[in-house]
Amino acid sequence: MSETKRKINSSIAEDNLLKAFELMCTAKALAELYEENKEVCAKYVHATSRGHEAIQLAVSMQLLPQDFLSAYYRDDSMLLGIGMTPYELMLQVLAKRDDPFSGGRTYYSHPSLKRDNMPKIPMQSSATGMQAIPTTGVAMGLQYLEKQGLSADFGTDKPIAVCSLGDACITEGEVAEAFQMAVLKKMPILYVVQDNEWDISANAKEIRAQDATEYAKGFKGLETRTIDGTDFEKSYNTVKEVIAIIRKERRPFLIHAKVPLLNHHTSGVRKEWYRDDLEEAQQRDPFPKFRNQLIISGFDITELKRNRKTSKTESC
């Protein structure tokens, strides 16, 4: 590629940009596939990451095998980003026995995983927000091993814990407890709050007094970054900066990513039943935004289309 193709940001490798675009195409194709087959898929509770893809890929593509990740029910792009395949995700959505997470016993994007070449994903409850305390406990475990001289030597790439959360669940007490202990003990954890301003069928104005950034101010020592989670470039660079600090300084951070919800809350709670902001939300779709950034930066539109076609084929 020529130097003109580096305009988007020279700190992000071209291969990573194309990989992110391919994975974003894949996540979009999966959501469309499920919708096309809703008569079948509706039998199994699931949600997708449509609208959240950029921040999820920005996080997951930068995690290492020694890291720990707690993904939540809308994190299928997160799972694609760490290396899971569309086929593996569909085994879970259809409750098949070969599902790599639980043999078909848990909802879609409720993973648990231990593979040598991927971040480790602890088993967690399907209740929203319940992953905050166990994941903070993982960070405490990492800290304990380090203090006792029992941790493996990863050089400067010390392991971290990442806890992915939806914005509505941070109103819950479990999350407050987790934040308190994380700042009190200075644990190596990153909380990623994906804020689409919707609970099951209620808008943010109905369920919270402040957003994640404002709420985090009540936990002294929990540094935050507030970003447009639909912008892959900004998300990637913010995550890169924050993860580097956590690996070095061993203290907690919160990234508050503002995103739209472009699909249903879940397969059983459809967007057309209660949403009046769908047209507005569509204007913030991260997919065309990222595609246009790449084209303006000089990437070959033919190559991008080929990536998109390949992703749709792999997802069908």
Question: What pTM, to 2 d.p., does this model score?
Answer: 0.93
| 48, 54, 58, 63 alpha-carbon torsion, rounded to 10° | 10
* pLDDT tens-digit map of 199-227: 888 899 999 999 999 999 999 999 999 99
Q: Where residue 4 falls among pLDDT bands split at 50, 70, 90?
A: very low
With 80 as the cut, is the pLDDT of residue 257 above it? yes
* pLDDT tens-digit map of 111-161: 899 999 999 999 887 778 889 999 999 999 999 999 999 999 999 999 999
- To the nearest whole percent, how much of the chain has pLDDT over 90? 68
Residues 87-98: what's their mean pLDDT? 90
* Residue 290 to residue 71: CA distance in whole angstroms: 23
With 50 as the cut, is the pLDDT of residue 60 above it? yes
| Domain ranges, residue 201 | 3-314
Q: Where residue 316 falls among pLDDT bands split at 50, 70, 90?
A: very low
CATH code, domain with 220 = 3.40.50.970
The answer to whether 183 touches 167, Cβ cutoff 8 Å, is: no
Number of domains in the chain: 1
* pLDDT tens-digit map of 273-313: 888 898 999 999 999 999 999 998 888 877 777 766 666 65
With 70 as the cut, is the pLDDT of residue 250 above it? yes
What separation in angstroms does the CA of 17 have from each of 175, 228, 254, 299, 310?
Answer: 33, 18, 24, 10, 16
Residues 27-50: what's their mean pLDDT? 83
* pLDDT tens-digit map of 237-248: 999 999 999 999
Note the pLDDT of residue 311: 66
